[in-house]
Amino acid sequence: MKPIDKIIAPVKKELGLVEKKIDEILKDNVFKEKFDGTFLNKGKKLRPIYLFLLSRALGYFEEDIVDYGVIVELLHNASLVHDDIIDHSPKRRGENTFNSVYGNNIAVLLGDLLFLSSNKLAIQKRNFKILDVLTKKNENLLIGEIEEGLNTGNIELTENEYMKIIKNKTASLFELVGEISCILAKIDEQEGKKIREMSSSLGLSFQIIDDVLDFVSDVKRVGKPVMNDLKEKTLTLPIILAIRKNKGLKDKIKNFFKDVSQESLLMEIREDIINSGGLNLAKERALSMLSTTKKIIETFSPSKFRKSLIELVDFMSERSF
């Protein structure tokens, strides 16, 4: 049994229902053929997994949690469609991206359609507290995308600015999961604050690990192009931390940004980032956040769901290596 299979075992039924419902929503769409054979139902569904395990661990056992899993996953997939357009990515989860198949103009609209499908289902639930949170996280998500776009090629990007971007762009969906779980389980404000912070840390660490994998992984493993951040003139935490240690790296990156087809220079920059400790320092930040998350989860009442949440954090820790 794969580690992820063991983790999802307590909520395997709910995950299966998410996949079924997403298929039904997409097949019911007027452009259903555009979604066939795409990456949409092929990811790990980490956010619904986290939602199901967290809400169950907090004592919420109603079946409508599946709908909220669909809402979160559709929102996530919509953001990926837009990400791929911005990054000019040809592959996602081993499949052709929408932009590579239909072009940017249609891909933007198909991404918007997924956003709409997520929000439409949320409105149907008629839980206005969750709708308020969803609206805010939608806003955060878009702000993060805009901020990242505006900072394309910004060699002076600071660590604080980077963290603000990924808090909006990536951590907001994990925060959404934490908020939904707290609302449904009727968690008090003090405990809810702790869970929201935990969820934010989980999302931040996830993005930092992704940034590390961009340097050390391969297309087969991550299902998308690697070394893509620098090619898209995007500064990530490993790069920012490496520049602190190696001031000459900044000039090399500036030179590379003038012509991102310089493959030999790209590999030289990669080695400099590794040798200066940028990757290791970024890993340490992510692992520290995951350690804090794990300690909070360990305060939950013992259950198979708590156990799987702890295993999920361990799985993410190992993912960084």
Domain boundaries, the chain: 3-315
| Pairing between β-strand 91-92 and β-strand 95-96 as defined by DSSP bridges | antiparallel
Rounded CA separation 60/55 (Å)? 5
Q: Give yes or no for residue 239 having a pLDDT over 50.
A: yes
The token pair at 125 is 């639930």
Q: Give yes or no for residue 255 having a pLDDT over 80.
A: yes
| Burial class of residue 114, CB neighbours in 10 A (0-12, 13-18, 19+) | buried
Q: Give yes or no for residue 36 having a pLDDT over 80.
A: no
- Which of 173-182, 293-302, 312-321 is least confident? 312-321
CA distances from 313 to 93, 174, 192, 281, 299 (A): 22, 13, 19, 19, 14
Residue of higher predicted confidence among 23 and 235: 235
Return the SS3 of 96. Answer: strand
State the chain's mean pLDDT as an integer. 91
The token pair at 268 is 């030289």
Residue the block writes with tokens 């969803």: 134
Q: How far is CA 83 from the centre of its chain?
A: 11
Return the SS3 of 232. Answer: coil
Residue of higher predicted confidence among 28 and 74: 74
What percentage of the chain reaches a pLDDT higher than 90? Answer: 78
Return the SS3 of 53. Answer: helix
User: What is the DSSP track for 270-300?
Assistant: HHHHHHTTHHHHHHHHHHHHHHHHHHHHTTS
Specify the amino acid at residue 32: K
**pLDDT tens string 41-75:** 677 899 999 999 999 999 999 999 999 999 999 99
pTM: predicted TM-score of the whole model, two decimal places: 0.92
**pLDDT number for residue 41:** 66
Q: Are 171 and 207 in contact (CB under 8 A)?
A: yes
- Which of 83-97, 133-147, 213-227 is least confident? 213-227
CA distances from 29 to 116, 158, 214 (A): 11, 43, 34
Rounded CA separation 166/177 (Å)? 16
Q: Give yes or no for residue 221 having a pLDDT over 60.
A: no
**pLDDT tens string 113-167:** 999 999 999 999 999 999 999 999 999 999 999 999 999 999 999 999 999 999 9
* Residues ≥6 apart with Cβ < 8 Å to 35: 26, 27, 29, 110
* Residues ≥6 apart with Cβ < 8 Å to 23: 41
Domain 3-315 part of CATH 1.10.600.10: yes
The token pair at 62 is 């109603």
**pLDDT tens string 258-316:** 999 999 999 999 999 999 999 999 999 999 999 999 999 999 999 999 999 999 999 99
The token pair at 27 is 């097949």
Minimal CA–CA distance to 50: which of 180, 142, 154, 159? Answer: 180
| Burial class of residue 93, CB neighbours in 10 A (0-12, 13-18, 19+) | middle
